Structure 1
Amino acid sequence: MSPALFARLPAQMQPLAARWRRLPHSDAPSLSGWLEPELLSGALARYARNWPQADPRAVASQWHQEGCALVLPPLLLGGLFDVEPPTLDPARLRMTIDAQGAPTELHLPLDTEEAPAERSGARLLDRLHEQLLHPLVGRFAAHTGLAPRLLWGNVALCIDWVLEMAQANLPDRALGEARAHVRDCHRQDACTAMRAALRRDAAGAMRRVCCLRERLPLQRCGVCPLARRQNRINMPT
């Protein structure tokens, strides 16, 4: 992410953005690598120590949410606003975890994708789905036994939050196009599963499938279908 874009980010995103680094020679595993059974099992086992005796599926869902919150904002915002947008190739994006197993830093290569002559929010989301989201959701679901619908809820909530925060601080045609593309529930295309993961009405967005957060000793997610609207928490994790 360029310094110019970093400076324009809303205050809520600044601490998160400090964990995105251009690091061409990172030896951290790639996002694809983290989906290899041995690496993922090790990370989830370490992460599960935070909640002894917890449902492994709830632990895996929470880890996935933390990963989404780390990885998706720079890819979305960089793709929409940066002069040199980041790659979406999961084999070239690298991630570290901390001693507790939580996703910690995203390392991006120095070389980037060529910026199109005209930015398209809809096209960016389609490419993000095709290159990154669809294959990673499928592999994560296969390894953990979590329903893809639950994982798409994690993805959709994070993307919705990023676009909402950006719209308030970085209004832009391509950004508005991306928001409209995400929220067009009548559209049938590659992003249909992601759109279907959230239910929208005048009160805002709500998950269709619980993320299992309530099975951990954490505050219940405010956009859970089991939560009360007045306690709604509009955050991706």
Structure 2
Amino acid sequence: MSAATKSPSLPLGGTATADDAGPRSGTASDIGRSPAAKVLRRVASGVATALLLLAVTAFLALAIGPRVLGYQTSTMLTGSMSPLISPGDVVVTQPVPVADIKAGDIITYHIPVEDQRVETHRVTAITAQPDGTFVVQTKGDANNGLDPWLATISTPTVDRHVITVPYVGEAIRAIRQPVVLNALMYGAPAVLVVGMLAGIWRRTPEKTEPGSND
């Protein structure tokens, strides 16, 4: 007579549940709520927010600031004013009456030779002319000699150096690239929206207490 196979005992009127079958693996929802996933979401949200703030700040500084506050910005391309102003630094200038300029001031002006490019150099001498214009001699701090020209300032004002913002020039030049600009304008807001929607979708309703009739 063969031995009968013993079936697992169950509570009266009860049925076997998934918990009775042993430990279960984590669900997709559990993985989505894991500490690593939360950290990654926070990092992605922080990066997107930082990029968006950078784009807004650059827009305000370059487009709104000069119109409202009257200052001008330019990026230093050479090392002629190092170490005070290095390549890639942003030079912030404020227009002042030419009569207020004195030796030792740093001005941004168009040189009178070659391509008449914009130059930011230190004034070594300034002379008023009978016709109301001013002639300035300039020099780059890192250059061995004076600039090989005399510039005539015929406008009522000239841009005088106020402050130097290190390294920002390279960032501004990068932001002005069409690919980077489009990524900041459209990519950063998209990441924020996706992050918020993902947070909403991952929310699960609270479980009711066992035996509750609600």
* Structure holding more helix per residue: 1
TM range (shorter): under 0.3
Structure whose CA Rg is larger:
2
Structure with higher RCO (Cα < 8 A, 6+ apart): 1
* Structure holding more strand per residue: 2
